[in-house]
Chain A
């Protein structure tokens, strides 16, 4: 009990004028609500900051995925007819993929991962796709005999990997830390 409160409740005032009964001082709870709120408010605020940063993180992840998909789709519309394998015969491949990947709301902050777009030949083997060679070393003869089906032509797949550096607004306070987000998309060209 503070001196002030003792003074208020005990010494100077006529008991009839006191509004706080001395016997109730033990149960005195003035100030509790404010203190409780002061304790909760920072937790609440940090929760809000996390909410905002996680929303932005999820948003960025979706955009990075979309960016990879659009890159792969650009490869298909630019290079699918008569210019395969695209890595050697389609001069505009990298430019088209990069332009499309950087045309989302994240803009040019999205970058194409090094070595991408990559091009691989796949064949269906049972229920899975089996790699049968890359664009620079295609299967010879050009069929799916490696996957057990010599009568099938291998599929020409382009793969796009993109990366984006995410930075939280409330660095240090939010659990959504600075990180590199990656997106991946595969598109068949033939």
Chain B
């Protein structure tokens, strides 16, 4: 009996192989969940920072008197994933009064399913 035939016929260790296959799928899901959670937390953080900065602009607090200071105030209240060096927050004296918006390009990687570019955005306005 050749080794090849043995390999085909032999069932010893099959559980381990199946576990290996299942484990890859399982871990894929797990890391997918982790990536999704990171996305949601960044989304929440963007929203929080935008709301806080809009509020700061609305009450014209010290440190929130110019567009650039409001934008850096927002950045200081952001606690999500690292940024690429640019400030994602933009202030405009429009909308209801003081609008702060933010966009963040997130790459949602779900192992074995694919990579999905997601643009996270947050808008807040206070007056």
Given contacts A14-B1, A103-B99, A105-B122, A48 and B29 within 8 Å (CB-CB): yes
What is the minimal beta-carbon distance from B109 to any residue of chain A, in angstroms? 15
Q: Is A28 an interface residue (CB 8 A)?
A: yes
**B contact residues, range:** 35 or more
Are B125 and A100 touching (Cβ within 8 A)? yes
- Whether the pair B18, A105 counts as a contact (CB closer than 8 A) is no
| Chain A 116-147: CB-based contact to B (< 8 A → 1; otherwise 0) | 00000000000000000000000000000000
30 A-B pairs with C-beta separation under 8 A: A13-B9, A19-B6, A19-B9, A19-B11, A19-B12, A29-B15, A30-B11, A30-B14, A30-B18, A33-B18, A34-B21, A45-B29, A48-B32, A52-B36, A59-B40, A66-B51, A73-B126, A74-B96, A74-B97, A74-B127, A77-B127, A78-B127, A99-B95, A99-B125, A100-B95, A100-B127, A104-B123, A105-B121, A105-B122, A107-B123
* Contact between B10 and A19, CB atoms less than 8 A apart: yes
Ranked nearest first, the 5 interchain pairs of A and B with the lowest CB-CB distance are A103-B125, A100-B96, A33-B18, A19-B10, A37-B22
- Judged by DSSP, the binding face of B is helix
A10 at the interface (CB under 8 A from B): no
Q: Which residues of A contact B32 (CB under 8 A)?
A: 48
B25 at the interface (CB under 8 A from A): yes
Asked if A55 contacts B15 (CB within 8 A), the reply is: no
Query: Is B44 in contact with A32, judged by CB distance below 8 angstroms?
Result: no
Q: Does A46 contact B (CB under 8 A)?
A: no
Q: Of residues 87 to 104 in B, which have CB atoms within 8 Å of A's CB atoms?
A: 95-97, 99
Q: List CB contacts (< 8 Å) of A34-63 with chain B.
A: 34, 36-37, 41, 44-45, 48, 51-52, 55, 59, 63
Residues of B within 8 A of A8 (CB): 9
Using a CB–CB cutoff of 8 Å, the interface residues on chain A facing chain B are 8, 13-14, 17-20, 28-34, 36-37, 41, 44-45, 48, 51-52, 55, 59, 63, 66, 70, 73-74, 77-78, 96, 99-100, 103-105, 107
Complex formed: what's the CA distance from A124 to B8 in Å? Answer: 85
Are A28 and B127 interface neighbours, CB within 8 A? Answer: no
Determine the distance from Cα of A179 to Cα of B58 in the docked complex, in whole angstroms: 32
Task: Decide if A99 touches B96 in the complex (CB within 8 Å).
Answer: yes
Task: Tell me if B19 is interfacial: C-beta within 8 Å of chain A.
Answer: yes
User: Do A103 and B1 touch across chains, with their CB atoms under 8 A apart?
Assistant: no
Which residues of B in the span 3-48 have a Cβ within 8 Å of any Cβ on A?
A: 6, 9-12, 14-15, 18-19, 21-22, 25-26, 29, 32-33, 36, 40, 43-44, 47
Tell which of B29, B40, B121, B126 touches A44, judged by Cβ atoms closer than 8 Å: B29
